[in-house]
Amino acid sequence: MNINVLFVCLGNICRSPMAEGIFNELISQKSLHDQITCDSAGTGNYHIGKLPDHRTIEVCNDNNITLTHRCRQLKKEDFDTFAYIIAMDNENLKKIKSLTESAAHDKKVFLMGDFGKIYKNLPVPDPYYGSKKDFEQVYLQLLDTCEGLLQHLLAKKEAY
């Protein structure tokens, strides 16, 4: 069984591609690529086709993660393709939920903070207008929440 996860932020150049890169790294460390896959998207359309922000790329490179994602906007079909659609903050969550057309789709939408261990129930702050330090802080928060998400998915799989 394959579980498909979509990380969503506003621009899809800072937080969600970083989450995608970190989660892919965790998946690959555990050789789970045939069981768990992920992608990222933005609710906005400002940067479609672009690589992530240079600070996102730098912080990921500093942690041996290479990003190749190209920015794309969230689309209706994503609600069928993905089992988990994970918003970085409440504004993203509201926007995503405004696009759902069924209770089944609604139930797929989560907040990244739902999976936090250290950063439990906290929004992932938008670092776009910040400094590299802010991106490094976001990296730590996403590492924690991605680890929690992977634990959650693995526990779910055991239950099947």
3-state secondary structure at position 137 = helix
3-state secondary structure at position 41 = strand
CB-nearer residue toward ligand 4NP: 46 or 117: 46
- Which is the catalytic residue, given 53, 78, 126, 144? 126
Beta strands 84-87 and 109-111 are parallel
Beta strands 109-111 and 3-9 are unpaired
Amino acid at residue number 67: L
Active site (annotated) includes residue 62:
no
21 binds ligand 4NP (CB under 6 A): no
Indicate the DSSP class of residue 53.
P
57 binds ligand 4NP (CB under 6 A): no
Give the distance from CA 120 to its chain's centroid. Answer: 15
132 binds ligand 4NP (CB under 6 A): no
Residue with tokens 């190749």, as numbered in its chain? 68
Active site (annotated) includes residue 72:
no
- Residue 157's CB is within 10 A of a number of other CB atoms, namely 13
CB-nearer residue toward ligand 4NP: 6 or 13: 13
15 binds ligand 4NP (CB under 6 A): yes
CB-nearer residue toward ligand 4NP: 6 or 14: 14
Smallest gap from residue 150 Cβ to ligand 4NP (A)? 21
Residues with catalytic annotation? Answer: 9, 15, 126
Q: List contacts with ligand 4NP (CB under 6 A).
A: 9-15, 46, 126, 128
